Structure 1
Amino acid sequence: MTPALPFAGIDGCRGGWIVARWDGAGTLHLTRVTTIAPLFEVPDAPHIAAIDMPIGLPERVGAGGRAPERLVRPLLGMRQSSVFSVPARAAVMAGVGPGDETTRYRAACAAALASSDPPRAVAKQCFHLFPKIAEVDHLQRSRPELRTRLVECHPEVAFWAMNGQAALAEPKKVKNRPYPPGLDLRLKLLAASGVPVDLLDAQNARALGAGLDDLIDAAACAVTAKRVAEGKALRFPDPAEADAFGLPVVIVA
C-alpha cells in the first residue's frame, strides 16, 4: 500500500510544475505536472500544499511591492533579490491576454505603470511568470475551499526558517549557473528537517526535465506545508491581508 503523502511543495519549472509529495518522514515522491488543479481532484490529494508563486494580487502597488515582499526581504541578507515585487492584477491579466508576446508585454507594462506608485514597468523575468500566477489565481478564485490548503511560500524564506531564522550564506546559483556549495547547504537543511534527500540529484532533475534547484525548492516548499499543518508556520504579514477577491496575501514559512 502506498503511504499517505499529505504534504506537497510546488515549484514552477519550464513548461509546468515540480511537485514534491512528502509524508513528513521517510517518503518523498517527485513528479512533474503541466497544471496544478488535478492535484486536488484525486482521492489522495495533499492536505496542505505550499507553492512558490504569488497568491493574492494587489489593485495598486507601492514601492517594494506587496506587504509580504517588503517583510521577508530584510530577512534574507544577500538572497533578498530572489523576492520580486508582484505587480497589480491588471498588469498580470494584461500579460496573459490576447496577442503575441511583444503585444502582451507592452500591455502588461502599460497596466503596471498605471497601477504603481512610483510608476514601474514589468521586468521580463516577472512577465514570464504571469501565466503561472494567473493559473493559481484562477484556481483559488474558482475553488474557495483551497484557500487554506494551497498557500504561498518562498523557498529562500523556507530555508531561512530551517536555518534557525538566519539568512543563508551561499546562493543557489552564480551567474545563472548551479552553485554546488549553495545547493549542498540547502540539501543539508532539508535533511536536518527530516526530508529524504536521496532523490534530489541531477539525474532525477534531468529525468523530470527540470533543474536540481527546482527539485530542492519544491522539497523546501513541502517542509513549509508540514509546518502549516502542524501550526508552526510563520506568516508575513500576520494576520494575513486579502486582495479584492478575498484571496490571502501572505507568505508562509
Structure 2
Amino acid sequence: MTSYIGVDWAGSCWLVVKTGDETYVTTEPSVFNVWYEHGKNEDVQSILVDIPIGLPETETRVCDQEASEMLSSRSSTVFSIPSRDVVETDDYNDARSKNGDSLGSQSWWLFPRIREVDVFLQDHEEARDKIFESHPEVCYAALDGKELSSKGGDGGIDERLDVLDNGSDLFETVKSVVNERRDGAEWHDRISKGRIDDVIDAAVLAHTAQLIDLQPRSDKADYPALPEDPENDEKLGVPMEIVYPGAY
C-alpha cells in the first residue's frame, strides 16, 4: 500500500488530504495529531506541508527567494521567513526590532504555526524522515506552466481544480468537498465554506508528492526542490527547501 499526504493550515485547524491507495479529506487540531492519526502509518510514503520547515540562523531562506521569483506577479503568496531568533520571539515589537524594524503582519501571524511544526520535528526525529515543506502556488504554477488567477474567487478555484482534473479519486473527492461547500453546506470535518482554498491547496500537495513519488529521506529520496543545493537547518538537520513537481 502506498499513500501520500498534503497538509495546509486552515485558520483554526490543519487540513489533511490523503491520496493513493486511500483518499480522503479531513482536519486535525495539531501537527501532532496529523502525524499520529495519519502520517506515521506505514502506507504513507511522505507528507508535504505548506509551512516553513527549517529556519536560518541569519539572513533569509534561499528557497523563499527562488519561489518568489518563480511566481512573479503572485510572489506575495510567498513569505520571506526571517531568522530563528526572530521567529521564536513572542513580542511583535521585539521581533520587528530584531528583524531590522521590518516585519509583515502575515509573517507574524504565521510564526505560531511555524514554531508548532518546528518544535514537533525537534521532538519527533522519526517524523523528519517523512515531512517535507512545499508551497501550493509553486506546485500549481509548475503543473500548469503559467500563473493562475487569485484563488479568492470561483474562477481561481476552478482553474486549480482543472489542474487536478486527471480523473483520479483525489480529484473526484476534492471536487465533491468543494462543491458541497459551494452549495451552502457550511461545515464538514470543521471545513467551512470560506476554507475551500485550503482544500485545493492541501490537495495539490498530496498530488505533488504522489506525482514525484516522494520517498522518505532515509531512502535517499531524489526529488525536485528549490533551491537545487539547499542549506540545512542547524537544529533539525533537514534542508531548507520547497519541494515541487519540477518541469511537467
TM over 0.5: yes
Counterpart contact for 1:236–1:250, Cα < 8 Å: yes
Q: 1:228 to 1:124 in 2, by over 3 A?
A: farther
What is the aligned-residue RMSD (CA, Å)? Answer: 2.2
Instruction: Name 2:41's counterpart in structure 1.
Output: 44
Equivalences for 1:19-168 in 2 at 5 Å?
19-23=16-20, 27-42=22-37, 44=41, 46-61=44-59, 65-95=60-90, 104-113=91-100, 120-163=101-144, 166-168=145-147
Identify the range of structure 1 (38-47 vs 82-91) with the bigger mean alpha-carbon deviation: 38-47
Q: 1:5 to 1:11 in 2, by over 3 A?
A: farther
Q: 1:80 to 1:59 in 2, by over 3 A?
A: same
Corresponding residue to 2:242 among 222, 231, 251: 251
Question: Partners of 2:223 and 2:150 in 1: how far apart?
Answer: 24
Q: Percent identity?
A: 29
Q: 1:198 to 1:169 in 2, by over 3 A?
A: closer
Identify the range of structure 1 (228-237 vs 83-92) with the bigger mean alpha-carbon deviation: 228-237
Counterpart contact for 2:55–2:81, Cα < 8 Å: yes
**Structure 1 stretches of at least 4 aligned residues deviating more than 6 Å after TM superposition:** none
1:198 matches 2:175:
yes
Question: Partners of 1:202 and 1:91 in 2: how far apart?
Answer: 40
**3-state SS, counterpart of residue 151 of structure 1:** strand
Counterpart contact for 2:16–2:34, Cα < 8 Å: no
Instruction: Name 2:218's counterpart in structure 1.
Output: none
More strand by share: 1
Instruction: Name 2:191's counterpart in structure 1.
Output: 209
Deviation for aligned residue 1:17: 0.8
Amino acid at match of 2:87: V
1:186 matches 2:160:
yes
Q: 1:155 to 1:193 in 2, by over 3 A?
A: farther
Question: Partners of 1:146 and 1:209 in 2: how far apart?
Answer: 26
Instruction: Name 1:16's counterpart in structure 2.
Output: 13
Counterpart contact for 2:161–2:175, Cα < 8 Å: no
Question: Partners of 2:89 and 2:114 in 1: how far apart?
Answer: 12
Amino acid at match of 2:3: P
1:171 matches 2:160:
no
Amino acid at match of 2:226: F
- CA displacement 1:126-168 (0-9 Å, x = unmatched): 11111110011012122222223100000001112211xx232
Counterpart contact for 2:57–2:85, Cα < 8 Å: yes
Identify the range of structure 1 (52-61 vs 137-146) with the bigger mean alpha-carbon deviation: 137-146
Unaligned runs of 5+ in 1: 96-103, 114-119, 174-178
Scaled by the length of structure 2, what TM-score is found? Answer: 0.82
Amino acid at match of 2:130: R
1:234 matches 2:215:
no
**3-state SS, counterpart of residue 18 of structure 1:** strand
Matched residue count? 224
Q: 1:228 to 1:129 in 2, by over 3 A?
A: farther
Deviation for aligned residue 1:184: 0.4
Amino acid at match of 1:48: S
Counterpart contact for 1:202–1:212, Cα < 8 Å: no
Scaled by the length of structure 1, what TM-score is found? Answer: 0.80
- CA displacement 1:17-37 (0-9 Å, x = unmatched): 10111116xx53111111012
Corresponding residue to 2:205 among 221, 226, 232: 221
Question: Partners of 1:15 and 1:5 in 2: how far apart?
Answer: 29
Counterpart contact for 1:6–1:21, Cα < 8 Å: yes
